[in-house]
A and B are shown apart, each in its own frame.
Chain A
Amino acid sequence: QQQVKQSPQSLIVQKGGISIINCAYENTAFDYFPWYQQFPGKGPALLIAIRPDVSEKKEGRFTISFNKSAKQFSLHIMDSQPGDSATYFCAASLGNAGNMLTFGGGTRLMVKP
């Protein structure tokens, strides 16, 4: 079964702190791992994505760490800001088998000022 398990379900972080969200997948054939950010009343929007040929990808304050052997990947938000308060979803797909994303359950992040 193609599943992506995400934790924690909710996270409260102080402004300036590091937010860490973890995901684990089962299908070793997955080769594309995006993270989406969703604000209330909006649809999800791509935040950052990684392919399994690299172990880390950084874009500004957002970093994906990828552990292929453990079948896990995580999102790190450095210097978290109140504007980062949103729901974050990890996802996985088979890059060459149609754009069918399997999503994790989501993490509701609240950054306190």
Chain B
Amino acid sequence: ETGVTQTPRHLVMGMTNKKSLKCEQHLGHNAMYWYKQSAKKPLELMFVYNFKEQTENNSVPSRFSPECPNSSHLFLHLHTLQPEDSALYLCASSRTNSGFDTQYFGPGTRLTVL
């Protein structure tokens, strides 16, 4: 185990639903990330948080809303999603937001939007 847990591991939702993905890291890290992993596309960075403050929003649609209440927890709130949002959503953390620090990934949440 990497020390980064994600729940739920699988999620099926309709386009009108509202759901949330949760990430928790037990590594004492200060930076956390959300990535989207789609078939046939590279891993896409969505959001970056450093010491609970959002430092990067990689042009992500507003139907994805992140929340970082503390350095150990990260949420991704989902509403009015589209079928093309179906993907594996990965959370990661690193000790700092230095580009040389290793990112540790959770196992991901497999999201299916019907």
Which segment, of B13-21, B70-78, B104-112, faces chain A?
Answer: B104-112
In the complex, are the beta carbons of A105 and B41 less than 8 A apart? yes
Q: Which residues of A in the span 21-63 have a Cβ within 8 Å of any Cβ on B? A: 31-32, 34, 36, 41-46, 49, 51
Which segment, of A11-19, A64-72, A73-81, A94-102, faces chain B?
Answer: A94-102
Contact among B42, B50, B100 with A106 in the assembled complex (CB-CB below 8 Å): B42
B55 partner residues in chain A, CB cutoff 8 A: 98
Q: A43-B105, A104-B42 are in contact. Are A99 and B90 (CB under 8 A)?
A: no
Mostly helix, strand, loop or mixed at chain A's interface?
A: loop
Query: In whole angstroms, what is the CA distance A36 to B33 when docked?
Result: 16
B42 partner residues in chain A, CB cutoff 8 A: 4, 89, 102-106
Q: Which residues of B in the span 1-33 have a Cβ within 8 Å of any Cβ on A? A: 2, 4, 31, 33
- The yes or no answer to B92 lying at the interface (CB within 8 A) is yes
- The yes or no answer to A93 lying at the interface (CB within 8 A) is yes
Query: In whole angstroms, what is the CA distance A98 to B100 when docked?
Result: 9
Query: In whole angstroms, what is the CA distance A43 to B24 when docked?
Result: 14
B45 partner residues in chain A, CB cutoff 8 A: 100-102
- The yes or no answer to B43 lying at the interface (CB within 8 A) is yes
Query: In whole angstroms, what is the CA distance A105 to B44 when docked?
Result: 10
A99 partner residues in chain B, CB cutoff 8 A: 31, 33, 48, 94, 96-99, 101, 103
B108 partner residues in chain A, CB cutoff 8 A: 43
In the complex, are the beta carbons of A44 and B105 less than 8 A apart? yes
